[in-house]
Amino acid sequence: MERALPMRRVTPFSGPLETHSTIFDSPLVLRAMIMNAGVVKVRGWFGTEEEFVELGCRLGALERASPKDSRHLGRLFRVKSRPGDSVGVGRYWHADGFAGTSAPALITIYHVVKGTSSVSNTSFVDGYAAWSNLNNPLRALICDRWWAHASGSRHRFVVDHHKHQCPTISVNLGKISSIQGMNGVAVKRTVSRIATALDLEPRYVHRWTPGDVLLVDNRRMLHRGPDKVDRERILWRTSVIKYSI
Ligand SMILES: O=C(O)CCC(=O)C(=O)O
Ligand SMILES: [Fe+2]
């Protein structure tokens, strides 16, 4: 299927845009920066869990992580990885927030609070570039299909971005339970073909330094956690699901 050309020019992703923590006082400007750059990086931010959630709230309503966690109304995800974990959270290409929703989160915010090291990186690829570079047979295969998330919600593999109208790959490769019109073997093969294609894309690898905060356009960028960690690592995440400004 032919897809329409993008309506607006988008700056190709070539790494995060770095700015200062004073940007948190200007949420509209910050949002525009995230949409333009794909990833915005702020260094030297050291705050509490409450302050981290508060940063997210300035941009909009946040996804609820756990209804049982009353401390932040469950809006902080704490991702713990340990050496020797066989399957870690997010160690596959994905966007966040597909569970039980019609669309993934808008913006995700990450901060590693423990266990920064040379191997504990988070990687990002540009979903626009990944779609336009995808080989033709795989494009044709996934272009008009939906995939089902483990939670049961269905999502299209290729979605036009709400701001740029560019087609982007929209997927969580670790949580696909079925694909429209495919049997189990074909699903596995398709997931692995997409993973290989994304692995071949130029990636931005973020080597965490204490104090780093990354703010990411989750409808454009795909990310994955490290294959392994060499010490216990804790990452905080919060996800904006609706703009309030
Ligand atoms: O551990 C990482 O670097 C990524 C974690 C992740 O994907 C997430 O929290 O959504
Ligand atoms: Fe994630």
- Taking only the tens place, the pLDDT of each residue in 38-60 is 999 999 999 999 999 999 999 99
Q: Is the CB of 238 under 6 A from ligand 1?
A: no
Mean pLDDT of 176-202: 98
The pLDDT value recorded for residue 97 is 95
Token readout for 46 is: 């050291």
Over range 134-160, report the average pLDDT: 97
pLDDT of residue 105: 98
Is a pLDDT exceeding 80 seen at residue 128?
Answer: yes
- pLDDT confidence bin for 6, thresholds 50/70/90: low
Residue 170 near residue 156, CB atoms below 8 Å: yes
Q: Evaluate: CB of 115 within 6 angstroms of ligand 1.
A: no
Ligand 2 midpoint to CA 200 (Å): 19
Predicted TM-score (pTM) of this structure: 0.95
Share of the chain above pLDDT 70, in %: 96
* Residue 90: pLDDT band with limits 50, 70, 90: confident
Ligand 1 contact via 96 beta carbon (within 6 Å): yes
Model confidence band, residue 7 (pLDDT cutoffs 50, 70, 90): low
> Are the beta carbons of 171 and 157 closer than 8 angstroms?
yes
pLDDT at residue 84, rounded to an integer? 85
Question: Taking a C-beta distance cutoff of 8 angstroms, is the pair 11, 36 a contact?
Answer: yes
Query: In this model, does residue 11 exceed pLDDT 90?
Result: no
Q: What share of the chain is helix, strand, coil (3-state, %, to 5)?
A: 25, 30, 50
Give residue 165 CA to ligand 1 midpoint distance, Å. 26
- Cβ neighbours for 52, distance < 8 A, ≥ 6 positions apart: 76, 109, 111, 236, 238
User: CA 14, CA 241: separation in Å to the nearest integer?
Assistant: 25
Q: Are 160 and 200 in contact (CB under 8 A)?
A: no
Is the pLDDT assigned to residue 5 strictly greater than 60? Answer: no
Smallest-distance ligand from the CA of 224: 1
Q: In the chain, count H helices and then E strands.
A: 5, 15
Kindly report the protein residue whose alpha carbon is nearest to atom 1 of ligand 1.
Answer: 225
Token reading at 49? 């869990």
Half-sphere exposure of 115 (CA within 13 A, CB side): 20
Q: Give the bridge partners for 110, in sequence order.
A: 214, 237
CATH number of the domain located at residue range(s) 17-240 in this protein: 3.60.130.10
Mean pLDDT of 72-78: 88
